[in-house]
Amino acid sequence: MDSNSMLFFLQKLSLSMDVTALLAGAPVANPSSMPTTTLGLESVIQSLVIKAAGEIVTSIPNYPQYAAQNLATQTVGQQNLAFNLSGNGSNNAFQQSTMSICSHPLVGFFEPTLGQNPLHVWSLPNQAIELEITLADPSTVVLAAGLCNEIQVSNIRVGVAAVSPPADMQVSALNALANGQSLFYDFVRPTQVKAACLGSTTNRFLFHMSGVRSLIGFTACFVDDTKAGTQTVDKALQFSNQTLSTWQIQLGSGLTIPRGLAGFTHSSTDRQTFLVSQLALNDYMNIGNVTQFDFADYTTKKFTFGYAFEDRSEGSQAALAFTGTDGLFRINTTHTTAPPSTVRLSLTYYENVTLAISSGGVAVI
């Protein structure tokens, strides 16, 4: 997407494409009977990279997992929208061999924080934003062997609302750049990291945050490599709680959340983790709009937990800073049964960052 004169409202961006299921080079014969992941056809995207003037501003290597976690905390209306746009929630998303899907990727770069002004695309050195998509292996989308061995994407369209800035605004911005000043675009950047379980009922996961200036929060899930590599397993429903009993955040040598020796609790009858995570990712008034699903499914198929230091109504000053610390973010867990060595804790953390645009280039700070 490029422009030498426009402002882009990225919160109104839409990504559309035609997706075709093929077998031996020909469209599949009975697409409606072909089982697919309940994530919908947005799952054809394996990774998503967004660049501004060649600088990577967002990189999500496992987009299906990222989308599954995000959609699990969206409102009923948003989930219904995802169902109608890309088949989310359906286990046979290919009603025809070629389906047209549309989405607004749930990434912070397309949702500037605190309702700020649109992005001055014209001020970027190459006056362009790039979206790089890597397609997923068909076996992660279609859940039965021998039905589809190729997925083809065509007719990719990106739509975005844009306006021409007033002349005085553009002149003022050009003067600022010429005088060595910068233009700023604040957004939330997600990062995916993972750590292996220790083969014990007690685990301590360490994540390095020394380069993070403002941590909003995180979501986490357990991923079993044996399930992730099995075609018949729905990749949107592979997240077991791994018999989790308690979990606790540790910052430095002594500070824990929650405070004390005991952590947040979870079991088949204990819903504290579910409530804490929903409160962290939303607010209490919004929880009632979050989609209803069976708690047994949550704990065996859709388990995710998280915590936030800044809610959606606050500015970045409310987030967590690591200044003066060892830069390590620890999550301690206890389990009724030790998770196998094939299990990893996959963490997506969210941080406040700023795209700084100057006459010399761009940088994410």
Task: Work out the mean pLDDT of the chain and round it to a whole number.
Answer: 87
Give residue 215's pLDDT band: very low, low, confident or very high (50, 70, 90).
Answer: very high
How many other CB atoms are there within 10 angstroms of residue 42's CB atom? 27
pLDDT at 170: 81
pLDDT at 262: 81
pLDDT at 172: 85
pLDDT at 320: 87
Which of 25-29, 36-40, 130-134, 254-258 shows the lowest mean pLDDT across its residues? Answer: 254-258
Q: Which residues pair with 333 in a beta bridge?
A: 203, 247
Residue 230 CA to residue 228 CA, distance in Å, equals 6
**Mean pLDDT, range 206-223, rounded to an integer:** 90
Residue 316 has pLDDT above 60, yes or no: no
Give residue 317's pLDDT band: very low, low, confident or very high (50, 70, 90).
Answer: low
Give residue 290's pLDDT band: very low, low, confident or very high (50, 70, 90).
Answer: low
Q: ∠ CA(21), CA(47), CA(80), 5° rounding?
A: 65
**Model pTM?**
0.89
Residues of the chain above pLDDT 70, percent = 92
Residue 97 has pLDDT above 90, yes or no: yes
pLDDT at 114: 55
**Mean pLDDT, range 200-223, rounded to an integer:** 92
**Mean pLDDT, range 246-259, rounded to an integer:** 88
Which of 44-58, 109-123, 128-142 shows the lowest mean pLDDT across its residues? Answer: 109-123
Q: Which residues contact 167 (CB under 8 A, 6 or more apart)?
A: none
pLDDT at 279: 77
303: left (phi over 0), alpha (psi -120 to 50) or beta: beta
Which of 148-162, 257-271, 339-353 shows the lowest mean pLDDT across its residues? Answer: 257-271
**Mean pLDDT, range 67-73, rounded to an integer:** 80
The DSSP element (H or E) to which 313 belongs, if any, is: none
Q: How many CA atoms lie within 13 A of 359 on its CB side?
A: 9
